[in-house]
């Protein structure tokens, strides 16, 4: 048996199975194709059959959201995103640039052309207003 922080796995004839799935099948029978064994207790290593239920991926995601475990906080957007190369000040500058090609702007700010195009189209960085030019 291999145990990590996420789930417990059991090897059966060289096939790895989730211990929670094995528990479900031992107590309730075969898992219908396309269904997941979900945890009422939100403890991925739990194998207590009283804590398990069947559901679709959508059911599982809804359960997670309803329990408040999935939040995409605003601090992961924009300049706070782990992969952000720009910040609000630079995006405001970019939005106020007139008469320059998207390619030249991208080169000036060392980002991809699509990054600039998405900013200018309003696909990304929507909450940042153009820099006020006097």
Tell me, yes or no, if the pTM score tops 0.85.
no
124's CB contacts (< 8 A; 6+ apart) are 115, 118
User: What's the confidence (pLDDT) of residue 13?
Assistant: 72
* Domain boundaries, given as residue ranges, for the chain: 2-66, 74-121
Beta carbons of 4 and 19 less than 8 angstroms apart? no
Alpha carbon of residue 128 to chain centroid: 23
pLDDT per residue over 61-85, tens digit each?
888 888 877 766 656 778 887 788 9
Residues in the chain, how many? Answer: 134
What are the helix and strand counts (H, E) for the chain? Answer: 5, 5
CA angle 94, 123, 125 (to 5 degrees): 50
The confidence score (pLDDT) of residue 34 equals: 93
What is the radius of gyration, based on Cα positions, of the chain?
A: 24
Quick one: pLDDT at residue 54? 96
pLDDT < 50: residue spans in the chain: 1-5
């Amino acid at each position: 048996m291999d145990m990590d922080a996420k789930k417990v796995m059991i090897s059966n004839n060289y096939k790895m199975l989730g211990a929670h799935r094995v528990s479900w099948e031992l107590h309730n029978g075969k898992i219908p194709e396309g269904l997941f064994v979900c945890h009422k207790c939100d403890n991925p290593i739990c194998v207590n059959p009283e804590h398990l239920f069947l559901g679709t991926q959508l059911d599982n995601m809804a359960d997670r959201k309803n329990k408040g475990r999935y939040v995409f906080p605003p601090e992961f957007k924009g300049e706070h995103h782990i992969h952000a190369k720009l910040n609000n000040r630079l995006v405001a500058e970019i939005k106020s640039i007139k008469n320059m090609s998207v390619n030249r702007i991208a080169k000036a700010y060392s980002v991809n052309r699509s990054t600039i195009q998405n900013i200018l189209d309003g696909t990304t960085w929507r909450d940042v207003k153009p820099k006020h030019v006097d």
